[in-house]
Amino acid sequence: MASSYTICVLPGDGIGTEVTDCGRQVLDALSGRGGPRFDYDVRPAGYYTFLGVGHSLPDGTLDAAKAADAVLVGAMDVAQIPPHGGDPLGGLRIGLEVSASVRPSRTIDGIAGPTNDIDCVVVREVTEGLYSRDEYMGDDDAAYAVRVVTRKASTNTARMAFAQAMARQETYGRPSLVTAVHKVGVLKLSDGLFLEACADVAREFPEIAYETANIDTCAMDMVRNPGHFDVILATNAFGDILSDVAAGLAAGLGLAASACIGERWAYFEPVHGTAPDIAGKGIANPCATILTVAMMLRYLGEDESADVVETAVYGVLEDGKIRTGDLGGNATSTEMTDAILSSLKIK
């Protein structure tokens, strides 16, 4: 008998609501063909939720996220939410006690990117660092942001990175490498603590190669020699930037999936933003969300279904007949989703 899961869905803002629906169609197609079954608990969060109820992440939404087996999140317009309106993504990360963000980037056949030699995962801490939300004004002409790095969060993030490396080593049948990124020459205490925690975890995984790299050197080497990297381990801001670099080198944000995973809970969200310039036009690329759905399936232990979804997406992209505007075509979101649905090969 097929497994059954409850998915808390936060459609978000802009194109988030549109492409999240595309992801649900893929899940429903799997269910209709004998795969796992899904029930959805749709909850409000984001900028428009703030405008409606005065807070961007209502308590009921966070409670529903904790009660679900996984959470599927659409893009949210966090930039427009004032401080008193809350931070929906930050609230999710802290409330769900996630350990790290996991963002894979790989060259996709049929998609011309700046390089054809990238296949890596950026694992970054997502609850502190420069995004600790601890800012203050020293006086009228000086603003300060506190960069918080703790041993616990750094250790949890490092363990996630090494777990990803172990999984990739098993999948690819080759040695894996974790690269911890830092600027310890300047940030001696905060990055010093981060590297100390990473080294402690590295000793627990002697079968995984481990190295460290300055953030500026790593960014340059990602452009010059992207094939060197396997798993990149970073603090919050550094990892945020490097994961976008990796996505740009691979195929762009329209194909970039991500997950924020902890010991008890996890949420899954495409990397792209709300794209207000195309919102409501039905032309957004749903592939990032559908690949994010595949990550969610893998988290739930449904590896076979995840493989089916990824194979369908990559097959449509390689074929090249159906492409949205960001990929040089003129297909609608519905046309792209329908092509992927038609390509689902249930085993």
The answer to whether 244 is a known catalytic residue is yes
Structure-block tokens of residue 118: 């990238």
Cβ-contact 235, 180 below 8 angstroms: no
The CB-side HSE value for 136 (13 A sphere, CA atoms) comes to 4
DSSP label at 319? H
Burial 204-219 (b: 16+ CB within 10 A, else e): ebeebebebbbbeebb
Does the active-site annotation cover 230? no
Q: How many CB atoms lie within 10 A of CB 227?
A: 13
CB 99 within 8 A of CB 160: yes
Q: Angle, to 10 degrees, between the axis of helix 303-319 and the axis of helix 333-343?
A: 120
Catalytic residue flag (residue 240) = yes
Determine the Cα–Cα distance for residues 230 and 344; give it in Å rounded to an integer: 29
- What are the start-end ranges of the H helices in the chain? 15-32, 47-53, 59-67, 88-95, 151-172, 190-202, 215-224, 236-250, 287-299, 303-319, 333-343
Contacting residues for 55 by C-beta, under 8 A, at least 6 apart:
49, 85, 86
Rounded Cα distance, 49 and 177, in Å? 42
Q: What does the longest C-alpha to C-alpha distance in the chain come to?
A: 64
CA distances in angstroms from 169 to 126, 208, 261, listed in the order given: 25, 8, 20
200 annotated active-site: no
Of 244, 299, 307, 338, catalytic: 244
- Of the candidates 5, 47, 48, 131, the residue annotated as catalytic is 131
Residue 68 makes CB contacts below 8 A (sequence gap 6+) with: 6, 7, 8, 41
* Residues marked as catalytic: 131, 183, 216, 240, 244
